[in-house]
Structure 1
Amino acid sequence: MEVLAMEKISKTILKQVIIPRKPESYKGTYGKTLIIAGSTHFGGAAILATSATVHAGAGLVTVATTPEKFTAINTNIPEAMTIDYHNKKELLAAILNNNVIAIGPGLGTSSVAVGLVKAVLNNTKTDQTVILDASALTIIAEEKIPLQTTAHIIMTPHQGEWQRLSQLAIPDQTEFNNFEKIQGLNPDAVLILKKHHSEIYYQDMSFQIDAGNPGMATGGMGDTLTGIMAGFISQFGYSLATIQAALLIHSVVGDKLSKKQYVVLPSKIIEKLPKYMAELSTQTK
């Protein structure tokens, strides 16, 4: 397989993707997103991922989680709907009725979580996008679950999670080796490898962002990226450009905040997203 040289992602991609909203539109215009996240000990991940999805502009957002987290989610994100992921009938209906599904943040690796990952991969179709993050990737690695769905697959591991899934030690996570492992997992999948200057791999193309800072090294940052990715694909559609823009804006907003803040909190990135997107959408294309 011939691998093309890694490209830097230009900030011009943000203005190409983030366009003004049409005057005649409604919530259904901007897509339906399902976030499957959270567990007894990791409710914050579900809140951050869902909040990021809402603030990034998805029209309708549903979070499937454990019922004990409903109150916290409804209080923090009243815009999102909640369902119990233990209810198989309700969960299946949600999987079938949403165009973007993100699974993994704070989910854990219980037998329930394993069942949720299998339910998503076994029931999603060609016109849907599945974002696999955090616990979902660990489950796929441990249970050796094949990524055979016809849906668009986006994997968002940090280097440790990618090591578990690919069996590549971090020093061996080179461009060539990463491409080879993706071919074995699902040749049409997109890999977003989270690291210093995160990378995107898709087919024979690879890209890198020149953004991000040490202040962003804090819990919940990956959950936030997953939510932004889901929100962008929900409203702007699945494309390489949309994926690039979602990855880049996450770090660009983080860089803006880092000028005045020693630690960049994920919740602060989420809070600033709508304003920054408005500024980009009104700039001359």
Structure 2
Amino acid sequence: MEKISKNILNQVITPREPESYKGNYGKVLIIAGSTQFGGAAIMCSSAAIHSGAGLVTVATTPEKFTAINVKIPEAMTIDYHDKKALLTAIINNQVIAIGPGLGTSNIAKGLVKAVLNNTKTDQTVILDASALTIIAEEKIPLQTTANIILTPHQGEWQRLSNLAITEQIELNNQTNLHELNPDALLVLKKHQSEIYYHDQASKITVGNPGMATGGMGDTLTGIIAGFVGQFGFSLETVQAALFLHSEIGDKLNEKNYVVLPSSIIEKIPKYMAKFSSRDK
């Protein structure tokens, strides 16, 4: 299995053109949060914004609007119960990330189906957390023509693939991913997380136990969304997002026993500037 090196950051993170506007850097829709898990929507959308996404819209339950607007004034909000507004947002955004803190209610199930039924070839759909559980439990086929990125931890991947954690080896993971959707990209979150895409398998060797904290996966999903919005969908783009997330985590872990997702988010722009130098 190929090891993803720090060079991937220099390869993907490019300097911004002097004449730029927000529309150049991706329109991202994040469908996340619920009464119990509003923080997931905040972390995911904050990570997307700090990663450089040009426009971020958060579709969530209205009772969380104030918290989002105060914590992340850069993000727009819509009510995910409003089917017309939601459909318009799904159609008009390049990247849709769904699942963090969403829960598995009938409303959440309807949201997952709405995304998969209304996205097209030029869009990317990132399926995370609750969305993965819903797809596994409801046996929803991944038939959209959009680019699909799955971001399960090993337990979620077990539900999706029917592979016990002990059976989650390279060949089995590739085979089962191909059965779900032969063009999907899988980010398998674990110690030294792995990425599978077509016939390629790669992994990171960064990351630390201090990152074993609630919200870490939501943050990664936001970084992936922000990167795909700016740099386009590709294996390399997702590799860079995954590596940056854990690279920052390792730097923080040098002086911190526990690495908080919010601390990683705060450092993203600084690290992206470091690797985007025109002199690299």
2:276 corresponds in structure 1 to: 281
Contact 2:149 2:187 in 1 (8 A): yes
1:111 aligned partner: 106
User: How many positions carry a matched residue from both structures?
Assistant: 280
User: Is 1:185 matched up with 2:180?
Assistant: yes
Query: For residues 178 and 106 of structure 1, what CA distance do their matches in structure 2 show?
Result: 26
Structure 1 match to 2:95: 100
Mapped partners of 1:77, 1:31: distance in 2? 17
2:26, 2:220 → 1: CA distance? 18
Match for 2:51 among 38, 47, 56?
56
Aligned counterpart, 1:81: 76
Flag the 1:262–1:283 CA change in 2: closer, same or farther, 3 A. Answer: farther
Supply the distance in 1 between the matched residues of 2:86 and 2:106 (Cα, whole angstroms): 16
Q: How far is the alpha carbon of 1:10 from its aligned partner?
A: 1.2
- TM-score between both structures, scaled by the size of structure 1: 0.98
The answer to whether the 8 A contact 1:18-1:280 is kept is yes
Contact 1:146 1:185 in 2 (8 A): yes
Q: Distance in 1 between matches of 2:21 and 2:186?
A: 32
Q: Which runs of 5+ in 2 are unaligned?
A: none
The residue that corresponds to 1:252 in the other structure is 247
Structure 2 counterpart SS, 1:282: coil
For residue 167 of structure 1, what is the amino acid of its counterpart? N
After superposition, where does 1:31-46 map in structure 2 within 5 Å?
Answer: 31-46=26-41
| AA partner of residue 217 (structure 1) | A
CA distance, structure 1, for counterparts of residue 240 and residue 179 of structure 2: 27
For residues 239 and 157 of structure 2, what CA distance do their matches in structure 1 show?
Answer: 19
Q: Distance in 1 between matches of 2:279 and 2:193?
A: 28
Q: CA deviation at 1:284?
A: 2.9
What amino acid is aligned across from residue 100 of structure 1 in structure 2? V
Secondary structure of the 2:16 match is coil
Counterpart amino acid of residue 233 in structure 1: V
Q: Secondary structure at the match of 1:260?
A: coil
Contact 1:15 1:283 (8 Å CA) reproduced: no
- Deviation of the 1:283 alpha carbon: 6.0
- What is the match of residue 189 of structure 2? 194
Match of 1:144 in 2: 139
Name the SS for the 1:102 alignment partner: strand
- The yes-or-no answer on 1:175 pairing with 2:167 is no
d(CA) in 2 for partners of 1:179, 1:278: 34
Distance 1:163 1:87 in 2: 33
What residue ranges of structure 1 are gaps of 5+ in the alignment?
1-5
| Residues in 1 aligned to 2:2 and 2:273: alpha-carbon distance in whole angstroms | 27
| Matched-pair contact (CA < 8 Å) for 1:212–1:252 | yes
Give yes or no for the alignment of 1:163 onto 2:158.
Answer: yes
Contact 1:216 1:264 (8 Å CA) reproduced = yes
Shift of 1:180: 1.0
Alignment RMSD, CA only?
A: 0.6
Deviation sequence 1:150-190 (CA, Å, 0-9, x none): 00000000000001111111001011111111111000000
**1:239 lines up with 2:231 in the alignment:** no
Secondary structure of 1:148 counterpart: coil
Q: CA deviation at 1:115?
A: 0.1
